[in-house]
């Protein structure tokens, strides 16, 4: 864990706003504490999904299946960044099953077309 002295985690996240890559790495350190039972503030969870959508969109679907994230806020972010895997997951979370199925089929269709290209 990064030692910040008297600086709170939230303050440190704000200080890193100009460098989203470092911000994401720092958030990963904070979020790793979930496994030890630490409660993570909702705004940090939402920011984590936003940064993943921006910097590592292919990791979103995997991440959201491992841990609980605020569905409504993260659904909006995944839609904004067009991250289909996360979008399908959060659509299902909020009960929009048919829309989730449609998006999931789009993802599978795209994956199949990529495979045919090889």
Mind listing the pLDDT tens digit for each residue in 35-57?
888 889 999 999 999 999 999 99
Is residue 25 pLDDT above 50, yes or no?
yes
Whole-angstrom distance, CA of residue 71 vs CA of residue 20: 22
A 10 A CB-CB count for 76 gives 16
Q: What's residue 38's pLDDT?
A: 87
Note the pTM of the prediction, 2 decimals.
0.84
pLDDT top residue among 111 and 31: 31
Residues 53-104 pLDDT 10s: 999 999 999 999 999 999 999 999 999 999 999 999 999 999 999 999 999 9
């Amino acid at each position: 864990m990064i030692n910040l002295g008297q600086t709170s985690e939230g303050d440190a996240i704000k200080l890193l706003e100009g460098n989203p890559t470092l911000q994401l790495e720092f958030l990963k350190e904070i979020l790793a504490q979930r496994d030890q039972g630490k409660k993570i503030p909702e705004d940090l969870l939402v920011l984590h999904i936003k940064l993943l959508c921006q910097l590592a969109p292919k990791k979103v679907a995997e991440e959201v299946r491992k841990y609980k994230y605020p569905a409504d806020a993260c659904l909006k972010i995944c839609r904004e960044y067009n991250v289909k895997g996360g979008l399908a997951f959060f659509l299902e979370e909020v009960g929009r099953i048919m829309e989730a199925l449609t998006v999931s089929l789009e993802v599978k269709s795209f994956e199949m077309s990529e495979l045919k290209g090889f």
